[in-house]
Amino acid sequence: MELPQYEGPLDLLLDLIRKHKINIYDIPIHQITNQYLDYLRQAKDFDIDLGGEFVFMASTLILIKSKTLLPKDPTVPGEEQEDPRDELVRQLLDHEKFVQAAQMLRDKRLVEENVWSNPPATTFADDDGPGISVDVFDLVKTYEEVLDRFKSRPVYDVADEDVSVASRIEFIKNMMLSEDRDIDLREVFERQPGVRALVATFLAVLELVKLQAVALRQSELFGPIEIRKHKMFDAVFSDDGPLTGADSEYR
């Protein structure tokens, strides 16, 4: 028997949620905590060395479980009572978005490697401007570098409606129009107020590249990735363009 291995505790939790068909917005914290701890015990039996983040998540789950056992404050209306699971749900949703985005990039690379073209279609953006084409993995590398820095800086809570993919598409459009220059992609990412906004911005960049509204280039090998207007920028953002009414589609 082989025990599945996970890159991090959120991957483990998402797998448990999928396997047991759990509603991510209404996690049975007692059940998921017990299943998580069972995995940690099995990992120990298999001599699998889990990182400290797995132990930290275990303590977080136990804390949440303990909070749910406390009596509710009778002076606070039910709808205003804070659910101790809320922060965990936010983390899981953010991580799920990142996993989906990473999978989309892997799928794109697989298609590129298996579809005949001359020359091979191995770049993330069309090669029709100055500079060096950006590989899909260059984009992921830049995103992950910024994501790591986000973990060590203060996070400002922003309402979900403020960090939809649609709002980040609008943010990128306004940034490019107001500054009228090629912009370092790190600068776009680092202007985001928190991890949820960062994930939404990453997905927004992918969508704009797919629509050919923007292109990603490097002025030198291994240099910073720059985002610039592409040939379809004006058409994409026109009144009858593909982003018309995008608010609901990209939330």
Q: What is the CATH number of the domain that holds 242?
A: 1.10.10.580
Would 182 be classed as within a structural domain? yes
Report d(CA 135, CA 157) in Å as an integer: 33
Which residue, 174, 204, 179, is CA-closest to 189?
204
Domain annotation covers residue 199 = yes
Which helix H or strand E contains 145, and what residues bound it?
Answer: helix 136-150
Domain range spanning residue 15? 9-80
Q: Tell whether 72 and 127 lie within a shared domain.
A: no
Residues 71-122 pLDDT 10s: 777 777 766 678 889 989 988 988 888 777 766 666 555 544 444 333 333 3
Report yes or no on 154 lying in a domain.
yes
The one-letter amino acid code at 191 reads R
The predicted model scores a pTM of 0.50
Residues 127 and 68 in one domain: no
Establish if 111 belongs to a structural domain: no
Residue recorded with tokens 């990128």: 172
Number of domains present in the structure of the chain: 2
The answer to whether residues 16 and 71 belong to one domain is yes
85 in any annotated domain: no
226-237 pLDDT, tens digit per residue, is 898 988 899 888
Residue 98 lies in a domain: no
pLDDT along the chain (251 residues), means of 10: 82 92 91 91 79 85 83 72 87 83 61 40 48 67 76 53 79 91 90 82 84 84 84 86 60 49
Whether residue 97 lies inside any domain: the answer is: no
